[in-house]
Homo-oligomer: A and B are copies of this chain.
């Protein structure tokens, strides 16, 4: 047990301050990846890293890693997350993991503690995927799961590419990607779901991450007058999209608790009250902790969409926006997190993560685990996202202990 202790006030103040960058009028924050607001947030965090005497490096996909030297050299024990947000994001998603990591370093400096192994705090590029698909792009490239050039060439919803935007905001770094060595990785994050808040549990010990499947459908029908075209002669792209959306919901009922499905984006063309839509562009987000079940759900969804489109005389195109198998974290490290939480007298429970996180990419290259704290009412990707200060501090304290144990182990 280390002498170092989290400074709650300092942690909360840093979260509030970063929350003002790209802050929205009604609260919440908008820092889509690689926008001016993201650059401003990055500059602020990097400044804080340097102020803590950490050695900062930026890699070719814009991931930022700050190292706090250990008594010995070698691969660092790493923590971190992301600071990009969705268009209507909260203050804690991602940012909490990064700033709690920096608070751990600050606490160690206060207590004049140097761990045996180096400690590193990182934030990864475009975790949200709200502007560029796939999400978790930075950590995916960091781990070697996506070629750098493919990532740099990715075009966003506004037409710009990742490479252009990285250069524009000055975060096309010199450090190479895919060659990093990491001793172990622990990510601290808000749950972004209702489970801990509902059960009144303070610490979530995350055993793994749901698999994710994002499909974008483009349906091509025929625009026609809404009043004079008999129903049996229609090729209504919007109607088929609606059928797929309701099918996706029904599918979750058949597959049971672990299967979820969301149609979050849907755009009709020409989108006029009295014109049959000739085009429907929409996404389906499928998730399951069971990889085989996720594949089956995906296959069912796709064949239903094709059949429904064919029945309506509508052409159906499909594009994979993202695809990740379920991830199981390192059992020994998960155990260590659980022990640390109990040692600090925190209520805790084991659980899967319903959201995608950078940790699932790091899990491919080193022992990895995650720590969750409650989100009030489970609200996330929402300007009302909130976590109680006591829970934010508790999570950081558990992170501190786990990181020090890992860095000091023989």
| Interface residues, chain A, with chain B CB atoms under 8 Å away | 86-88, 128-130, 133, 135, 191-194, 210, 212, 214, 216, 222-231, 233, 236, 238-239, 241-243, 245-246, 249, 252-253, 257, 260-268, 270-278, 283, 285, 287, 321, 353-356, 378-382
Contacts and interface: CB of A to CB of B under 8 A. Distances in A.
Query: Oligomeric state, in number of copies?
Result: 2
A239 B252 CA distance: 13
Contacts of A223: 88, 381-382
Most chain B beta-carbon neighbours within 10 Å: one of A130, A194, A265: A265
A228 B382 contact: no
Given A191-B228, A228-B355, A239-B245, A273 B129 contact: yes
Contacts of A242: 241-243, 245-246, 263
B273 A321 contact: yes
Contacts of A273: 129-130, 133, 214, 216, 264-265, 283, 285, 321
Contacts of A222: 379, 382
A164 to B, nearest CB: 22
Contact of A262 (B243, B260, B276): B276
Contacts of A214: 273-274
A146 B404 CA distance: 76
A264 B234 CA distance: 12
21 contacts: A86-B274, A192-B225, A194-B228, A214-B273, A214-B274, A222-B379, A223-B382, A224-B382, A226-B262, A227-B354, A227-B355, A227-B356, A228-B355, A230-B257, A230-B260, A239-B245, A239-B246, A263-B277, A265-B271, A265-B272, A275-B382
A381 B224 contact: yes
Given A231-B252, A239-B249, A226 B191 contact: no
B192 A228 contact: yes
A322 to B, nearest CB: 8
Contacts of A239: 245-246, 249, 263
